[in-house]
Amino acid sequence: MGDPSLTAAERLYGGNSFAVLAMRAGDPDAPQNAIAGHARATCQLRFVVGTEPANILADLRAHLDQAGFDRVEITAEDDVFFPATRGDLSGGWLKRVLASVEATTGQPPDLLPNLAGSLPNHVFTDLLGLQTIWLPHSYNGCNQHAPDEHVLKPVCEDALGIMAGVFWDMGEVN
């Protein structure tokens, strides 16, 4: 999905992602054989660098109005969000970690320059001026953050090996 002009990689790290976290239409305790007169959804937007958080609701309102959905109400849950961050891809620490992961696994790691606004990474990058490197240990079918989220033993074993290699290599004097 996403903008068809983007590459597959750009769709992954270069675009915002929108998710419906929960929704309800009508009255589940007294269903009717008709279109529900009302519905409610709680949604989340994970946005990338370049998206201005202060404009999100106004832009969504304009989009809905233009599409003829002027009766749809938008309510912000709170003003708490984590700004998106983009790392410096020429940094020395990054090169060392990439080399370490490749030495441990025998294959070059995939590198994404962005972290969407879903973690407080900006505290490290923007407030403290530090480089951050996230090494996720997961797989496509893990149902991350779902009630049935899980991890497989081989994924844990690989993660332990990768992190042991990174910690070892970072302790080496180069």
Strands 39-46 and 85-86: what pairing?
A: unpaired
| Residue-wise pLDDT tens digits, 67-80 | 999 999 998 877 67
Q: What is the model's pTM?
A: 0.67
Cβ-based neighbour number of residue 161 at 10 Å: 12
| Residue-wise pLDDT tens digits, 135-162 | 888 887 888 778 888 989 999 999 999 9
Share of residues in the chain with pLDDT > 70 (%)? 92
Q: Report whether pLDDT(114) > 60.
A: yes
Q: Report whether pLDDT(13) > 90.
A: no
Contact 171, 153 (CB under 8 A): no
| Residue-wise pLDDT tens digits, 104-113 | 999 998 887 7
Residue 93: in which H helix or E strand, if any? helix 92-105
Task: Tell me the DSSP string of 107-166.
Answer: SPPP---EE-TTSTTHIIIIIS-----------TTS-TTSTT----HHHHHHHHHHHHHH
Q: Compute the C-alpha angle 123/124/130, nearest 5°.
A: 150
